Amino acid sequence: MQASTGTQAVDRAATLLVTVLQSEEPLTFTDLQRESGLAKSTVSRLLSSLEHNGLVARDDDGTLHPGSVLTRFAHASRPYDELISLAAPHLDVISAQTGETVNIAVVVGHEVEQIAQVDSTFLMGNVNWVGMRVPLHCTALGKVFLAEGTPLPHGRLERRTPRTIAGRDRLDAELTRVRKQGWAVADSELEPGLVAIAAPVRSADGTCVAALSVSGPSIRIGRDRFAVIGDLLVREASSLSSQLGYSSTKQRKAGAA
C-alpha cells in the first residue's frame, strides 16, 4: 500500500511538472489545479516539494515556471567558453572602471564556481579565483544565485568568519535586499577583509545562469563604493543578458499575461 501511494505521488508530481514545462503561457496555482483535476491540498503539497527541489519556481505574482535546476540543466550543453567569450568585453569594462578583480561565475551543485577572471591592477589582493568553488551563503556571487531561487543546502550554514551570515532568517532578509537593489554584497563574510559585489546575468527565459562580480580588500572597496560598483555590475550584466536573449520588457509582458 505504501509503495502504491508513493508511486501515485511521484506520478502526480511528474504530471504537474510536465504541465508547467509544456504550457505556452505562465500558469498560476489555480490554472494548474484546474488542469490537473487534483484537490487543492494535493497540488499545494506536491508543488511545495517541486519548488523546494528547484524543479518549479513561483514569481511574486504567483505565476509558475521551470525551476533553477531544470533551467541550468537545459543550458548545460551551452559551453562555458561561449559564455566566457561573450562576457569578456564586459569584464574588461568593469575592470577598467574599478581596477579590482572581476569574475564571472556559475552554480555547480551547492557552490559557486568562477569560470573567468580579469586580474586587479593592484599588487595587493590579487588572487586567481578561476576554478575555485565557494559557498553560496557567504559570497556576493552566491547571494545573487540564492536571491534568484537557487536552493540552499540542508543543514547548518558554515560560519567562515565572525561576519558570516549563518542564520537563515537573517540570510532571507539579506536576499530580499539583494532582490530589491539588484546586486549583492559580501563584506568580510568569506574571508576577513575581503569585499565582493555581484549582479545576475540572465538567459532568454529570465533564469539567472551566471553572475558578475568585483572583489578586493575592504581598504579599497569601502561602503561608499558599494552602490557605484553595484550599479556598474547591473549595467554590464544587463547588457550581457541581452546578448543571451533576455528582454526585461518581454518578461514583464509574459508575467502580466
Question: Which domains are delineated in the chain?
Answer: 2-66 (1.10.10.10), 80-249 (3.30.450.40)
Q: What is the mean pLDDT of residues 172-195?
A: 96
Tell me which DSSP letter residue 137 carries. T
Residue predicted with more confidence, 93 or 8: 93
Sheet holding 194-202, edge to edge: 133-135, 111-118, 101-108, 208-217, 194-202, 184-187
The mean predicted confidence, pLDDT, of the chain is 88
Structure-block grid coordinates of residue 49: 516539494
What is the rounded average pLDDT of the residues 69-79?
61
Phi, psi of 203 (to 5 degrees): -90, -175
Least-confidence region, from 3-12, 32-41, 142-151, 200-209: 3-12
Average pLDDT of span 202-213: 95
pLDDT at 256 > cutoff 50: no
pLDDT reported for residue 125: 63
Residues 6+ apart with CB under 8 A from 199: 144, 182, 183, 184, 211, 212, 213, 230, 233, 234, 236, 237
pLDDT digits (tens, 9 = 90+) for 105-149: 999 888 999 999 999 998 776 778 888 889 999 999 999 999 999
Gap between the Cα atoms of 66 and 59, Å rounded: 11
Residue 212: predicted pLDDT: 98
Q: Averaged over 215-220, what is the pLDDT?
A: 95
Decide if pLDDT at 4 tops 50: no
Position 101 scores a pLDDT of 96
pLDDT of residue 72: 64
**Contact between residue 199 and residue 232 where contact means Cβ atoms under 8 Å apart:** no
- For the chain, the first-to-last Cα distance in angstroms comes to 42
CB proximity list for 26: less than 8 A, separation 6 or greater: 59, 63, 64, 65, 254, 255, 257
Other beta carbons less than 10 A from residue 125's beta carbon: 19
pLDDT in tens, 7-18: 888 989 999 988
Q: For the chain, give the percent of residues with pLDDT over 70.
A: 89
Residue 181 burial by CB count (10 A; 0-12/13-18/19+): exposed, middle or buried?
middle
